[in-house]
Structure 1
Amino acid sequence: MINIGKINTLRVVAQYPFGYALAPLVDTDEMADNDFTRDNDEESLTVTLAIDEVDTPLNEGQTLDVFVTADQRGELYATLKRPLIQVGETKVLKAVSATNFGAFFDWGLSNDLLIPNDYQAQPVNPGMYYVVHAFFDEKTQRVLGATKLHYFLKEGSPYLNEGESVDCLVYAKTDLGFKVVINEQCLGLIFHSDAFKPLKVGQSTEGVIKTIRTDGKVDVALQRVDKGGRDALQQAILDDLEAHGGISTLTDKSAPEAIYSHFNVSKAAYKKALGALYKQKKITLSPDAVRLNQAQ
């Protein structure tokens, strides 16, 4: 079985003047069908690796990892180059040109990745970066891209839990907040009220699942807002004070950027943590400093 749009481990079965014929390691009849594979006819059992891609001659039976894709005519070929994106992945890519039928993106190979107009969330401007999802199109038998992410990624996942740390990729800004791809698996939203640091399309950031709504949609925060998160921040403040001789000039009057840079939290969360520690008589607050009390 050859997986189009992905890295394959294949074996050399023949050599020609123009390249090598590569085939799967096992009989394709022994493997289950895959959405991104050609039918098991005679032609699709092998793929060609161009001779100029190989520095030293290959031997029959030798195995190697190659990326398999199709050219503009739909014919498969293998390459030792590693693309910036594979089928099923969502990455940030740069647009290099636009035509009346689609736009082309640099994905690290000699032939650019096409995003047809029907799969564009908005008109593409060459030179700009976009969040792109790669997929195998059965109709054209080619690897294509899409910026209409909702065609391929659902809003929410049954495998996520509130309070879980996740990786987020910002792909759009709306009146409500920032739409994000969560763990490259599903879509979510960071409300403007939870975006205490600057965010922009194409930016990766860590997040925490804040709420999973009744309709399954997911709200993401940039910091933990539960008791565990509050306790962790308070302990981090105490540890920081101990590490710096019991005093810190980072007060509740400090700039939000300074607080985020030091503790990776919003100013509001930091002020609440200072207030809690003050009520517990673990710290003393003054306009210019936070001091650790001797007896804790």
Structure 2
Amino acid sequence: MNKYLLVGEKNRLKINRYTDNGVYLICEDKDEVLLPNQYVSYAMKEGDEIDAFVYFDSEDRIVASTVFPKAMLDEFGCFEVVDVTPFGAFVDWGLPKDLLVPKALQKFPFHVGMKVIVRVCLDDETGRIVGSQKYNEFLSKDFKNLKVNQEVKLLVRERTPLGFKVIVNNLYDGLIFHNEIFENIEVGDEKIGYIKTLRKDGKLDIILQPIGDKSDEVAVSKIVEILSLTGGRCEMNYKSTPELISERFGLSRKAYKRALTKLIDAKKLEVNDEGMRLL
């Protein structure tokens, strides 16, 4: 259990006492925080430990919630702008109180309905949770725990002439080159990717398919899964165009053809001039 209340993070807290307004949760240093009635269930009882998110409500009181936001402290998320004011904009991050992105922490003017990539952080002056678009200084260039072909979590943050910039594991700056993308991808998408290159400039080159044998396994699984959803048949074969392969299976032509051969050798697929079918 936490020794102190961690604002903006998940806390492991103990149910201490019931009141008319909800349940008070406590951590080891005896700090209490209210879990409002809307989050209290009949299964809860005094002494139980639960996971709760701690933040400031609309009246700037520290409260707890059993509903977690789309991103917590020091994490990145893609949020929709729901209100714009002279001092900043509010985005929907999944809690009753929307997240403020102060005007000083915006890279460009926001408008309602826009989706933006921001980092959840604490304001140095107020200690309140805010969102920021100015997060490059928080992206690490320390790659000592990373290796080539390592699986990573991605948040697509920006389209550029070279490719799509991505946030890697909520900590690193990465790029997926356009010529190595074989599936639909948009800003705000969350993807699984693989490290291709650890660059000397402190950035990562990322691909969406693993390298080597693991790549073949992924391609085989993807073809089988998609064929299974279409009755086990498809009009495509070895002669299909790279564009059609990319659109249908999200694979390069090379990976696609290797996967077909593996499936044929395993007697799981038949391919001819009319198309393919699962056996």
TM-score by length of 2: 0.75
Contact 2:163/2:175, CA 8 A, preserved across alignment: yes
Q: What residue number does 2:12 align with?
A: 9
Matched position secondary structure for 2:145:
coil
CA distance in 2, matches of 1:19, 1:289: 62
CA distance in 1, matches of 2:212, 2:21: 65
- CA deviations 1:47-83 (Å, max 9, x no partner) are 2233454355975544433221013554311223332
From the CA coordinates, give the structure whose radius of gyration is larger: 1
1:122-271 alignment runs, 5 A limit: 122-154=108-140, 157-224=143-210, 226-228=211-213, 250-256=236-242, 258-260=244-246, 264-267=250-253, 269-270=255-256
Contact 1:259/1:270, CA 8 A, preserved across alignment: yes
CA distance in 2, matches of 1:109, 1:232: 39
TM-score by length of 1: 0.71
Matched position secondary structure for 2:245:
helix
**Aligned with 1:92 (options 78, 81, 88):** 78
CA distance in 2, matches of 1:10, 1:258: 52
CA distance in 2, matches of 1:234, 1:130: 32
Contact 2:216/2:255, CA 8 A, preserved across alignment: no
**Structure 1 residues 84 and 168, CA, compared in 2 at 3 Å: closer, same or farther?**
closer
Structure 1's unaligned 5+ residue stretches are 29-44, 241-246, 278-284, 291-296
Residue range with higher mean Cα deviation, 227-236 or 74-83: 227-236
Residue range with higher mean Cα deviation, 104-113 or 51-60: 51-60
CA distance in 1, matches of 2:204, 2:164: 12
Matched position secondary structure for 2:104:
helix
Instruction: State percent identity of aligned pairs.
Output: 33
CA distance in 2, matches of 1:228, 1:200: 28
**Structure 1 residues 171 and 20, CA, compared in 2 at 3 Å: closer, same or farther?**
same
Contact 1:155/1:218, CA 8 A, preserved across alignment: no
CA distance in 2, matches of 1:286, 1:20: 66
CA distance in 2, matches of 1:212, 1:249: 40
Matched position secondary structure for 1:154:
coil
Structure 2's unaligned 5+ residue stretches are 226-232, 263-270
Residue range with higher mean Cα deviation, 181-190 or 64-73: 64-73
Contact 1:156/1:188, CA 8 A, preserved across alignment: no
Q: What residue number does 2:229 align with?
A: none
**Aligned with 1:80 (options 62, 66, 91):** 66
Pair 1:70 & 2:72 matched: no
Matched position secondary structure for 1:216:
coil
CA distance in 1, matches of 2:89, 2:68: 21
